[in-house]
Amino acid sequence: MVYVVLQGKTQLQALESAWAGAAEYKLVIGHDLTSGLGASIYIISREYSPVLLILDGDTTNEDRLYEQKEFAEYMVRRSAADQPFEAIFAAPTVMDELQDHPDQFVAKVEEAVERLAAAAPA
């Protein structure tokens, strides 16, 4: 099972209604970057399950989004290097992505979940 950590209940409900994921997944609320990272680390280290962290990038600047993604992945890998983890930062927010490009954003999430599920230890 892949855990998908999102920032808030509204995002969780919006993604849930737009996505009927084929892979086995569980949606979790992680409010902001700090608590999202904390939830991701906890899930990986306690549940031994892969995690996809989806957060608002709060920018459309590609360099800043890349830096945020690299930081999140670095922090999680320091704590739980043996479990698959991936971060997606929406530009500028998850809700904007779901309103403006729902099919593309959902496809990005589905692809990440499938990659993580395939990479999970047996």
pLDDT of residue 17: 86
pLDDT of residue 81: 65
Asked if 40 and 7 count as a contact pair (C-beta separation under 8 A), the reply is no
Closest to 43 in 3D by CA, of 95, 91, 5, 100? 5
Asked if 5 and 40 count as a contact pair (C-beta separation under 8 A), the reply is yes
| Cβ neighbourhood burial of 38 (10 Å; 0-12, 13-18, 19+) | middle
Closest to 55 in 3D by CA, of 42, 67, 43? 67
pLDDT digit string, tens, across residues 40-97? 989 988 888 999 999 999 999 999 999 998 998 888 888 776 789 999 999 999 999 9
In order of start, what are the domains of the chain with their CATH numbers?
2-119 (3.40.1360)
pLDDT of residue 22: 65
What's the whole-model pTM score?
0.89
Backbone φ and ψ of 83, nearest 5°: -110, 145
Backbone φ and ψ of 23, nearest 5°: -75, 160
Q: Going by C-beta distance under 8 Å and a sequence separation of 6 or more, which residues neighbour residue 68?
A: 33, 55, 57, 87, 89
